[in-house]
Chains A and B, each alone.
Chain A
Amino acid sequence: MKFPKAKPASPATRALEVVPPSGPTAWLTTFTAGAMTFLCVFALALSLASGRLADRWSEALARTATVRLSAPAEQVQIQTDAVLSVLATTPGIASFRAIDDAETRALLEPWFGPGLPVEALPIPRLFEVVEAEPGYDSEGLRQRLAAEAPGALLDDHTRWRRPLAEAAERLRLLGVLSIALIGATMAAMITLAARAALATNAEVIRVLRLVGAKDSYIARAFVRRFTLRTLAGATVGAAAGLAGVAALPAADAAGGFLTGLGFSGAGWFWPFVLPPLAALVAFLATRRAAFQKLRELT
């Protein structure tokens, strides 16, 4: 009798065949990966939007201030001149300008509607101040304004922008933390599913060992299956998440943060990274679980 001779092989697909194709853990892995990636897309959108907001507000906080002038009608021009003079002679100011009525109307329009008679209302005169590098002494500027234009108040935005910027920054961190937790949860669930699959297939493993399979071969068969299932589930989850984010209203100034919750520019790239990342998580989690379980099954 002549026995078969060894030949070069294509191991990748053949390793998959030795594990039974279906089982109670198959749908669990795919569903978990899909659901987690779906959630991850939203966490990513939240994180990126919060990041943009935090950056914008921090930038504004760091560089701009407003001088608000409220004075009796006959004093407005005199004090306006005084404010401009003080700003012009204050070191550390890159630029400044008085905000005209048209701009003031535009700023108030979202709240009061169009056609606001700015001239007829006791609306303070506003001056935009852009800080130079290094900046000005805000306390010194306040005192000079108080002395030369008693109706003028310096608002360096710290009071309201800083908490908002901090909140946005924390929201961004929460988003990142959520992504990490989602990833860890997915790894944990896939690990459990992989261990359950290995335990269910203990007899298959016994047969494979009897015919000379190394642990690395057996692990590879399970790892490939779980990685592919995760990749498939994560792809569907990411696509659904992207569709959900794309369906959100477009960002506009009036809508503020909520309508800006989405991706912009290169941010659209990140959701596409999630499926391979999920597959990598599954690969590492399953590999670790497989080798642990194979040692236990000895």
Chain B
Amino acid sequence: MITFENVAYSYGGSELLSDVSLRLAPGSFHFLTGPSGSGKSTFLKLAYAELQPTSGRVTLFDRDVTALSRDDVARTRRRIGIVHQDCKFLDHMSLAANMTLPFTVSDRESDPQDLDELLGWVGLRHLADALPPQLSGGERQRAALARAVIVDPDVILADEPTGNVDWEMSLRILTLLVELNKMGKTILVATHDLNLIRQAKSQIQARVLRIAKHRVQLAGADL
């Protein structure tokens, strides 16, 4: 699905990632951990083609990202659900309209019944008509997750999805991610929350990657 081969990424003369090689297999669940500023977000941006590697090769769905046109990148992102820590929405549109945005931008329409079901799944049915600024941090995180999965993507990339919420809400979001993984979705979650990782590993087979000294290493046994 997503493959990194000897990938390096530099910005402003300083190297953020170096010699990264890994493969996210279909249906796998990965955590990506590391201290703040270690390059977790950069790694995710490379994984959804917002950034291009300085050297090495990133392959998305068997296609080299450097060979993708701008339209190809857009089409590829429709196969990837992205959840950001800051959970950006279009503030002038209702929560329901924001959640169906992936359909809107691809000139398709969502099924209202399915949308209602999805809102219920993330516990936001009562807020369908609310505007994003009216939502709490946890509600925004769940809404972002719902938006990421509404088009039934193959991969879900989440950058600190529990960064702004309490432990109870973190567990709820984790549960949603685990459910998605059980449905066959490939999941990659960047987080520095080790408790969350331990909690997940008790429920599913999850691999833990750690970024240290610009390199991505397999962790796990010590967690």
Give me the interface of A with B, judged by CB distance under 8 Å.
Answer: 1-11, 14, 17-18, 20-21, 203-204, 206-217, 298
Contacts and interface: CB of A to CB of B under 8 A. Distances in A.
B102 interface: yes
B108 A209 contact: no
Nearest to A215: B70
B74 A5 contact: no
B74 A17 contact: no
Contacts, number: 103
Interface residues of B, number: 40
A206 B45 CA distance: 13
Given A2-B114, A206-B88, A211 B70 contact: no
A210 B104 contact: no
Contacts of A215: 70-71, 74
30 contacts: A1-B118, A1-B183, A3-B118, A3-B149, A3-B150, A4-B100, A4-B118, A4-B151, A6-B108, A6-B109, A8-B109, A17-B97, A18-B104, A18-B105, A20-B90, A20-B91, A21-B92, A203-B88, A209-B74, A209-B77, A210-B48, A211-B102, A211-B147, A212-B77, A212-B78, A212-B102, A213-B106, A215-B71, A215-B74, A217-B106
Contacts of B71: 214-216
B110 interface: yes
A217 B105 contact: yes
A210 B90 contact: no
Nearest to B87: A207
Contacts of B93: 17-18
A204 B98 CA distance: 11
B109 A9 contact: yes
Contact of B82 (A4, A210, A214, A298): A210
A1 B117 contact: yes
Contact of A4 (B91, B101, B103): B103
A72 B79 CA distance: 104
Given A4-B150, A7-B111, A212 B90 contact: no
A10 B109 CA distance: 8
Contact of B107 (A5, A9, A203, A298): A9
A213 B77 CA distance: 9
Contacts of A210: 48, 77, 82, 84, 88
B89 interface: yes
A206 to B, nearest CB: 7
B150 to A, nearest CB: 6
A213 B103 CA distance: 9
A11 B101 CA distance: 12
B75 interface: yes
Given A7-B111, A212-B75, A215-B71, A207 B102 contact: no
Contacts of B48: 210
Nearest to A216: B71
A133 B146 CA distance: 84
B61 interface: no
A11 B183 CA distance: 31
A298 to B, nearest CB: 8
A279 to B, nearest CB: 23
A298 B50 CA distance: 8
A3 to B, nearest CB: 4
A207 to B, nearest CB: 5
B121 A4 contact: no
Given A3-B152, A203-B88, A213 B105 contact: yes
Contact of A212 (B74, B100, B118, B149): B74
A20 B93 CA distance: 8
Interface in B99-146: 100-111, 114-115, 117-118, 121
Complex A-B, nearest 10 residue pairs according to Cβ-Cβ distance, in ascending order: A4-B114, A213-B105, A212-B78, A11-B107, A3-B152, A4-B110, A214-B74, A212-B77, A211-B102, A6-B108
B88 A3 contact: no
Contacts of B149: 3
Contacts of A203: 88
Given A6-B103, A211-B101, A20 B77 contact: no
A25 to B, nearest CB: 15
Given A9-B109, A214-B70, A215-B70, 19 more contacts: A1-B179, A3-B118, A3-B151, A4-B100, A6-B108, A6-B109, A7-B110, A14-B107, A18-B93, A208-B101, A208-B105, A210-B82, A212-B75, A212-B77, A212-B106, A214-B71, A216-B71, A217-B106, A298-B70
